[in-house]
Amino acid sequence: MEEPKSQSEVKEYFRIVGMRPLVGNVTVGGSKNAALPILAATLLSDEPSLIHNVPDLLDVQTMVMVLESLGVQVERVGRHSYRIMPATLSGSEPPYELIRKMRASFLVTGPLISRLGRAQVPLPGGCAIGSRPIDLHLKGFTHLGVRVSMRSGYIEAWAERLQGGEVYFDFPSVGATENVMMLAATIEDETIIANAAREPEVVDLARFLTLMGASIEGAGTDTVVVRGRKNLKGCEYTIMNDRIEAGTFCVAAAITRGDVVVQGIEVSLLRSVVTKLEEVGAKVERMAEDVVRVTMPCRPKPTNIKTMPYPGFPTDMQAQFMSLLCLAEGVSVITETVFESRFAHVGELERMGAKIQVEGRSAVVVGVEKLNGTQVTATDLRAGAALVLAGLAAEGVTEVYGVRHIDRGYEDLEVKLRSLGASIERVRE
Ligand code: UD1
C-alpha cells in the first residue's frame, strides 16, 4: 500500500490559462483583518459570543486554534459562524507554533492581560514581508499599567492594577491600535489613543467592543477614546466584508480587460483603489453604496503609487497593482512605505516577462505588452494574489505554487474567478 503523503510532499498549485476577460458578478466575503481581532476580543468577556460572516480561511483556523489552546470552547455553527465560549479560559500562553504561523495571533495579548492579569506570548518574529516588530503594542500596554519583560523569545506581561492612560503611537499601527483598544475596553477609566490607525477594520472592532458594553469614540479617526467596563457582555455580531478581496477582484477586471460587478463592499472604503484604477484608464461605476462595476476598455496607462496607512493606498493592494502596471503603456513607480520589504513578488513577475527594478523602497515598473505564463511561487498572501492576477492576463499557462499563502486570505478564490469566466483550477498531485 502507498504511504500517505505528508503535507509538504503534496504538490498543490493553481493552473491558469490566461488572456480571458473576466465578466460577471462576484460577491465578497467577510473581512479577514476584521475577523481576527474580533475573534480575539471575544476573550474579553466570560459570556459566549456568536460571530457571523467569518471568512473560511487558514488564518481564521489558526486564530480558532489559538483560542482553543487557551482553554476556550469554540463551536462552528455554520461555514461562516462561530460560537465562542470563553468562560473556560485558563491558559495565558499561546503556543509558539501558532504565533509563528500567524503574527495576528499576538492580538490575544491585550485580552489575556485583561482577563487573567498576565500573558506569556512568544515573540512573533520576522516574516516574509519584513521584520514587523511589536514595540508599539508593548509601549501602549505599559501606559495602561502593564509591566512587560522579555525572556528567551517570550514577552511576559502582567498587571496588578490596570488604569486608563494616554497612548501615542509613533506610527499608526493597526495591530497595536487594536490590542490597546481591547485592553482598554475593560478598564473603567478613560484611555486616549493618539495617532491611532484609522483602518475600517479598527472601526469594526470598535463596533464589536461597543456592543460588548465598552464606550468608544473616534474609531476611524486618529484619536480613539475608550471608556471601558469591567464586565463586558458576550454578543452576536456580523463581521464587515473584505475590502482587500474586493479590491483584488477590481484589479482582476482591469488586468483582463473585463467587465466585473463587485458586490458587498462599501465603495467609499475603496476610494484610493478606485482612484488609481481610474488613473490607469479603467471605468469604475458606483452602482449602489456597496456595488461597484469595473470595466477596462484599453491597455493600462502608467501611474505612481505610494502605500500609506488608511485612507492612503493599502499596502495589501500593492502587489496586485504591480501586476496591472507591468502591462501599462509606460513607466510607473510604486513606493512601499508601510513595510520595509514587501517586493517578494517582483522576482516572480520578472519570470513572467515583467520589467521591474527595485531601488530601496521603490519599484520602477516598465510596462511590457504582454506577460508569459510560466511556473511561479507565492511567498506571501498578497504576492500570491498578484501572481494569480498576472496569470489571468498572461499568454499561455501559468502555474502558481505556494497556494497555502493564498488560502490564508482568500476564500474560494479559484471558484469565484471561474464564475467570472477564468480558466483556473487547483491541482493537487
Ligand atoms: C495589519 C493587517 C495587514 C496590513 C497591515 C498594514 C491584520 C491582521 N493585518 O497588520 O494585512 O498589511 O495592517 O495595513 O489586520 N510596526 C512597528 N511596531 C509595532 C507594530 C507595527 O514598527 O509594534 C510597523 C510594522 O513593522 C509595519 C508597520 O508598522 O512596518 C505597519 O504595521 P501594522 O499596522 O501594525 O500592521 P499589522 O497590524 O501587523
Establish whether residue 170 lines the binding site of ligand 1, counting it when its CB lies within 6 angstroms of any ligand atom. no
pLDDT of residue 4: 47
Q: 173: CA distance to ligand 1 center in Å?
A: 5
In a domain, 7, yes or no: no
The SS3 assignment for 184 reads helix
Count of structural domains within the chain: 2
User: pLDDT below 70 — which residues of the chain?
Assistant: 1-9, 125-132
Q: 132: CA distance to ligand 1 center in Å?
A: 7
Tell me how far apart the alpha carbons of residues 91 and 73 are, in angstroms, rounded to a whole number: 12
**Ligand 1 atom closest to Cα of residue 197:** 34
Tell me how far apart the alpha carbons of residues 371 and 373 are, in angstroms, rounded to a whole number: 7
Structural domain range at position 63: 32-238
Same domain? For 189 and 283 the reply is no
pLDDT of residue 10: 75
Tell me how far apart the alpha carbons of residues 252 and 16 are, in angstroms, rounded to a whole number: 13
pLDDT of residue 16: 98
Cα angle for residues 324, 330, 335 (degrees, 5° grid): 60
Same domain? For 284 and 216 the reply is no
Same domain? For 155 and 275 the reply is no
Position of cell 478613560? 190
Establish whether residue 175 lines the binding site of ligand 1, counting it when its CB lies within 6 angstroms of any ligand atom. yes
Q: Which of 238, 262, 279 is the last residue of a domain?
A: 238
Enumerate the H helices of 127-173 as residue ranges. Answer: 135-142
Same domain? For 63 and 207 the reply is yes
pLDDT of residue 124: 81
Active site residue 235: no
Ligand 1, atom 37: closest residue by C-alpha:
175
Same domain? For 66 and 168 the reply is yes
Same domain? For 173 and 85 the reply is yes
pLDDT of residue 341: 79
Q: Which of 127, 250, 298, 326 is catalytic?
A: 127
Same domain? For 88 and 229 the reply is yes
Establish whether residue 174 lines the binding site of ligand 1, counting it when its CB lies within 6 angstroms of any ligand atom. yes
Same domain? For 229 and 249 the reply is no
**Ligand 1 atom closest to Cα of residue 178:** 38
Same domain? For 144 and 25 the reply is no
Same domain? For 259 and 397 the reply is yes
In a domain, 4, yes or no: no
CATH code, domain carrying 257: 3.65.10.10
Q: 139: CA distance to ligand 1 center in Å?
A: 15
In a domain, 6, yes or no: no
Same domain? For 88 and 221 the reply is yes
In a domain, 1, yes or no: no
Establish whether residue 107 lines the binding site of ligand 1, counting it when its CB lies within 6 angstroms of any ligand atom. no
Q: Which of 238, 267, 294 is the last residue of a domain?
A: 238
Q: Which of 215, 238, 261 is the last residue of a domain?
A: 238
Same domain? For 119 and 228 the reply is yes
**Ligand 1 atom closest to Cα of residue 244:** 11
In a domain, 2, yes or no: no
Q: Which residues contact 226 (CB under 8 A, 6 or more apart)?
A: 164, 181, 184, 185, 187, 190, 191, 193, 209, 214, 215, 216
pLDDT of residue 271: 97
Q: 92: CA distance to ligand 1 center in Å?
A: 23
Q: Which of 171, 180, 272 to mutate to test the pocket of ligand 1 (most atoms within 8 A of CB)?
A: 171
